[in-house]
A and B are shown apart, each in its own frame.
Chain A
Amino acid sequence: MRRLLPPVMAVAAALFVAACGSKPAATAPSGAPAVAVLAPTLATSGSSGSGASWAIVDMGGAASAYDNFWELFVRPADSPTWHLATPTGVASNGGLVAAATGATSLVTGFRPSQKLTFSPLASTTDAGMQWSQSALLSPGLGDGPDALAGNASGQLIALTDTGDVETSTSLGANWAKLTTERSLAASAAGRACGLQALAGAGWTPAGSPLVAGSCSKPGMAGIFAYSAGTWQLIGPALPAALSGAAVSVLGLATTVSTATTGARTTAILAATTRAGTSVLAAWSADGGTDWQLSPALAAGRASSPSVSIWADGSAGVVLAPASRRTGAMIGWQAASWQTLPTLPAGTATLAIGSGGEPQALTVRNATMTAWQLSAGSSQWTLVQAVQVTIPYGSSG
């Protein structure tokens, strides 16, 4: 027995060392949520009643994260071409969020990046030709295209990256905290849907604050309106077929009334089940009391979609994965989604051309290219390529 002991100990020691030094075998995650909440990318576009459009895309494409810069492009109302309109003076690596406050007025917020913890704001009244320094938001803007929203009165509402909802009466000056993610979740409205996280903010046509988030209770759309000092859960009820789905709000915007149309609130919802994700548009002409739902658009295993809501209440979505990007658009209260031909490679977001045609904005390193889909055509046509002087290395 004693003779056997040393070899046995040697083998045991080797097994121990081998176990210590070996990579653990991959195991399936346990306890993960049944479905993940879908969150949109910051790449988006918008338009004004006058026909001007703006779009935000991520450019650079370098290996270093700080060599990617978010850029703002503007297409004036009377022009078919886009031009670079990114406000200067701040590094845009963390992301840009824009909010329209009028036909040619825009407020842009820079998301925190590296050691910058607050969000500088810039405003323009001439569609990005000239920018002015505005007051700042601290803590910084949240990570979503609807983290900042404005209305024609110049009011702003912002969702910060700490979950605070702040409002300002004058282009970012005098911010006041309206609520927090935690307190809203603890309110009767928040408990009704099991609010998990806030995703965006906006205004009703009457000027009441709106916020959107994801709910833990299936089938509930987390859209809340603030009125008379209390929050109301006003999200639309989903069809019975999606009553078990996890719902997230991908986009929320209220457009300004024009001579021909009243103010419109459009929300883009993602309803995710184990089978996949469905995208729905929800429209309200009365600030959220009554909603009309679009048919569901099957989005498969979508991730990081780009969502754009335009001035007439129409909307467009680009669905990941990037290797097989598909896109769809839907008009205000339309009966069906218009599935677009396969998007050009590198499509970051959809936009609206000067004639109302769908455009796909693609990005490859320092080039933004606009592709247009003419009426009746099934082919995307290149209409413009914009070369951007990316300030590589300036943020590192």
Chain B
Amino acid sequence: MPGMNSGLSDTNPILVAAFKAALLHQGLIVLALLLVLGLAWIGVREWLPGGRRAGASSFSAATLGWAGGSAEPGGRRLLRIGFGLLWIFDGILQAQPAMAAGLPAQVIEPSAASSPVWVQHVVNWAGTSWSFHPIQAGAAAVWIQLGIGAWLILAPPGWSSRLAGLASAGWGLVVWVFGEAFGGIFAPGLTFLFGAPGAAAFYCVAGLLIALPLRHWQSDRLGRLLLGGLGLLLAGMAVLQAWPGRGFWQGRAHGQPGTLAGMVTSMSGTPQPHFLSTLVSHFASLDGAHGFAVNLVAVIALAATAAALLSGRRPLLRPALVLLLAVCLVDWILIEDFGFFGGLGTDPNSMIPVALLAVAGYLALTPASAPALATEPQLVPAPARSGAMAAAGAFAGASVRALLALWAVAIVVVGAAPMAAAQASPDASPVIAQAIDGDAAPLNFAAPSFTLSDQRGRSVSLASLRGKVVLLTYLDPVCTSDCPLIAQEFRAADQMLGAQAHNVEMVAIVANPVYRSVAYTRAFDAQEGLSRLPNWLFLTGPLSQLQQAWKSYGISAETLPAGGMIAHNDIAFVIDGAGHIRAELNFDPGPGTASTQSSFAGELVTTAQQAMRQA
């Protein structure tokens, strides 16, 4: 998928360090927010007279959804706490050091690889967005998931809790579409045993159930619908599992492992504890030897569970639930390999969510008693008071749990805000350039002089550019790969500088001893859209002058035989208005994918602005 992969190693030390620093930084903000909220809560409680606070607790706390104490149906509580814990676990997995750089190529791209092109386009958009801002995106995923998890667990019943359910469903939808490529439902090889129709789809369903008003949990209708829906899904999955020609009936085919055995074998080969890989490997061998029997058991189990759930008969539901839980457990261990082992695991896959939904559905068949539900927060007319006082009263009347729920919302915002801000910029984060080539080396010495001709034939010397910051690089006008990428970074830097570009000259010196005429520099400018850039200079001259300009800046331009391109340094110098070199940037554009695009420009702009200040 073009554009998604920055080409960087998952464990690139600069990206990993930046990711850790971002998590630490945002973690401190999260703790500070907790402290501020706590102090404010205590302060307001002390400041408000007891009567006002008491009145507030009966009105505003309920209004704001912060009041607790109502008896919550068991099924809903299970979903809320279960999926809350799952989100927190997922958030912790997202904090793996390699996640920031690795998720697009290791997780997102493979998930869509076998899907139709339109799915790949959708997923590629998200993957590229992530790759443009890997640190912000990686940290956002951590905090959003931790925040939603905490919000689900801590929010007392009321609209705050329902809102947490909606947030969970919304984020689950994002993960399902972009992270799981629609759960792979448009790809061949779809099977319930490996997580179809996508774990995040179950998070969505659970979130929507949590978001329902409590009155829907008062009858057994919700439970019947939920179990019926699960039954429908399992029936479909049983048909898919039994469908001839999809490779599930064969343990081996044409000397190769069958579909299921092949999937399990590849899972067993991923990094994980030895005992687990042995266990999974044994199951793969079993399926390889007895593929028909294994699939028959799977089909029967799915079909029997589906039939029982669809029948809606209570005597059948309990054994069906037990069977489903057993299938989920066995599948989770032996086939899904716990879901999160093997490289960059992002979640424990689908079996835990399925089990939670099934049990919640079963519990919902026995609705909560009416008296308990009657304690659902109701809007009670409040005594007349000013808006500020009402808010203060509500805040003071909030329980500790409600306060923590508010903090959980703040955690989501802490994660989402930097990513939203980053997304507003079309340019990739400069950290990608630093990850490819290292940090800029700060310098301060006089720049060697040169006098050459620009693309219009005018003589240009470094001294003639005094007073402006000079961004200097060396380009081969007939280069096929790196130089056009570097030129585009310079062009992007010029745009990013905006009005400041008037104080900057973008200068390239020809780095080709053979093809160095003005005709070639002009052709390169036209090719790269630089012809109309007023502060762009592509300098050339007699070979002796060029060689002097190479030597004085430590540039080599080696002619390779047999059709090789000129080998020269990819480098950029930042020269301040006084003619001093202030920074040297390694400018090897690396893989030159869309993900690295403009990241070097950002680095260039930052150092140019520093040079302006230094001058």
Contacts and interface: CB of A to CB of B under 8 A. Distances in A.
A120 B527 CA distance: 13
A330 to B, nearest CB: 32
Contacts of B235: 6-7, 10-11, 13-14
Interface string A381-396: 0000000111100111
Contacts of A6: 228, 231-232, 235, 310
A40 to B, nearest CB: 20
B516 interface: yes
Contacts of B516: 133
Contacts of A71: 562-563
Contact of B515 (A86, A94, A133): A133
Contacts of B310: 6-7, 10
Interface stretch (B8-16, B422-430, B478-486): B478-486
Nearest to A138: B523
A90 B527 contact: no
B228 A88 contact: no
Nearest to B232: A10
B40 interface: no
A394 B560 contact: yes
A21 B188 contact: yes
A120 B519 CA distance: 10
B564 interface: yes
A15 B239 contact: yes
A84 B564 CA distance: 13
Interface in B590-607: none
B481 A115 contact: yes
B563 A391 contact: yes
B564 A91 contact: yes
Candidate in B197, B481, B484, B520 with the most chain A CB atoms within 10 angstroms? B481
B187 A21 contact: yes
B96 interface: no
A114 to B, nearest CB: 4
A86 B561 CA distance: 8
Candidate in A23, A93, A113, A116 with the most chain B CB atoms within 10 angstroms? A116
A69 interface: yes
B43 to A, nearest CB: 57
B64 interface: no
B527 A89 contact: no
A93 B563 contact: yes
B565 interface: yes
A59 B564 CA distance: 12
Candidate in B517, B561, B562 with the most chain A CB atoms within 10 angstroms? B562
B137 interface: no
B189 interface: yes
Interface string B184-206: 11111110000001000000000
B520 A120 contact: yes
A89 B566 contact: yes
Interface in B483-541: 484-485, 512-517, 519-520, 523, 526-527
B563 A70 contact: yes
A302 B484 CA distance: 38
A69 B560 CA distance: 12
Nearest to B526: A138
A22 B247 CA distance: 12
Contact of A22 (B188, B197, B231, B566): B188
Contact size class for A? Answer: 35 or more
A6 B235 CA distance: 9
A335 B565 CA distance: 46
A241 interface: no
Interface in A197-211: none
B186 A21 contact: yes
A136 B527 CA distance: 13
Interface string A12-36: 0111011011110000000000000
A135 interface: yes
B98 interface: no
B55 interface: no
Interface string A138-171: 1000000000000000000000000000000000
Given A114-B480, A133-B516, A91 B565 contact: yes
Candidate in A7, A388, A389 with the most chain B CB atoms within 10 angstroms? A7
B513 A390 contact: no
B411 to A, nearest CB: 37
Given A90-B515, A117-B527, A14 B562 contact: no
A14 B231 contact: no
B581 interface: no
A85 B527 CA distance: 28
A13 B232 contact: yes
A225 B505 CA distance: 50
B512 A20 contact: no
Contact of A20 (B185, B243, B478): B185
A88 B559 contact: yes
A116 B512 contact: no
A264 B186 CA distance: 62
A59 B240 CA distance: 49
B100 interface: no
B561 A391 contact: yes
Given A6-B231, A6-B310, A115-B484, A389 B562 contact: yes
A259 interface: no
A92 interface: yes
A164 B582 CA distance: 48
B306 interface: yes
Candidate in B236, B240, B513 with the most chain A CB atoms within 10 angstroms? B236
Given A88-B514, A115-B484, A138-B526, A390 B562 contact: yes
A226 interface: no
B472 interface: no
Contacts of B519: 135-136
B122 interface: no
Candidate in B187, B197, B480, B512 with the most chain A CB atoms within 10 angstroms? B480
A65 to B, nearest CB: 12
A89 B513 CA distance: 8
Contacts of A11: 235-236, 239
B389 interface: no
A13 B236 contact: yes
A380 interface: no
Contacts of A90: 478, 514-515, 563, 565
Contact of A18 (B239, B520, B563): B239
Contacts of B240: 14, 17-18, 21
Nearest to A72: B563
B334 interface: no
A375 interface: no
A265 to B, nearest CB: 31
A361 B451 CA distance: 48
A90 B566 CA distance: 7
A120 B515 contact: yes
B264 interface: no
27 contacts: A7-B307, A11-B235, A13-B236, A15-B239, A18-B239, A21-B185, A21-B240, A70-B563, A71-B563, A86-B561, A88-B564, A89-B559, A90-B514, A90-B563, A110-B478, A114-B480, A115-B479, A116-B484, A120-B478, A136-B519, A136-B520, A136-B523, A138-B523, A138-B526, A391-B560, A391-B561, A394-B565
Given A59-B562, A91-B479, A131-B514, 16 more contacts: A10-B231, A13-B235, A17-B190, A17-B197, A20-B186, A22-B188, A69-B562, A69-B563, A69-B564, A88-B561, A89-B478, A90-B514, A90-B563, A115-B527, A117-B527, A138-B527
Interface of B: 184-190, 197, 228, 231-232, 235-240, 243, 246, 306-307, 310, 478-481, 484-485, 512-517, 519-520, 523, 526-527, 559-567
Interface of A: 6-7, 9-11, 13-15, 17-18, 20-23, 59, 66, 69-71, 84, 86, 88-94, 96, 110, 113-118, 120, 122, 131, 133, 135-136, 138, 388-391, 394-396
